[in-house]
Amino acid sequence: MKRIITLLTCALILTAMQALGQMVQTYEGPFESGEATYEYTENNMHEKVFSGRFSYTEVRHIEERGGDNEILITGNFKEDKKHLAWAVTVKPVEAGGRTETIIGNYIDGEKSGLWTHRLIDNETNKEVKHVKASFIKNHFRGPF
């Protein structure tokens, strides 16, 4: 009887540990050269697996763009792969300049659907460039 109770207790502890490992957790803080907020789970090796919302901000000096620029990246992950809509925006910290935005969709880590690339002149608020492209499994589809 003691052996059965011990086995059941061990099984219960292992099940509870696995369930806790699969809980979605949130990280907020330093990430690469900026700050990030993202959701993740942990696998059996206690490694982070991106799973859920992701956002990243950084101020980077880009000489070709006239100085300091804010970079904002938002999107979602599913089992460590980019999934659903992602957006990358680069805009100058100082007034003026141009804001560049790329928006696209991923399905299980592969580009899929309509992607747009826009460049806006911040002084006139006019669109300088607007490009559209469609993808299926990382390959262009249709006109570009």
**Bridge-partner residues for 50, per DSSP?**
40
Whole-number pLDDT of residue 15: 54
Q: What percent of the chain has pLDDT over 70?
A: 84
Q: Is pLDDT of 47 > 80?
A: yes
pLDDT digits (tens, 9 = 90+) for 104-133: 999 999 999 999 999 999 999 999 999 999
| pTM summary value | 0.81
Across 65-86, average pLDDT: 97
Whole-number pLDDT of residue 127: 96
Q: Is pLDDT of 20 > 90?
A: no
Whole-number pLDDT of residue 142: 81
Q: Which residues contact 39 (CB under 8 A, 6 or more apart)?
A: 24, 25, 26, 27, 50, 51, 52, 53, 54, 77
Across 26-32, average pLDDT: 97
Q: How far apart are CA 7 and CA 136, in angstroms?
A: 50
CA distances, 22 to each of 12, 38, 42, 78, 123 (Å): 16, 15, 6, 13, 48
- Name the average pLDDT for the chain: 89
Residue 83: strand, helix, or coil: coil
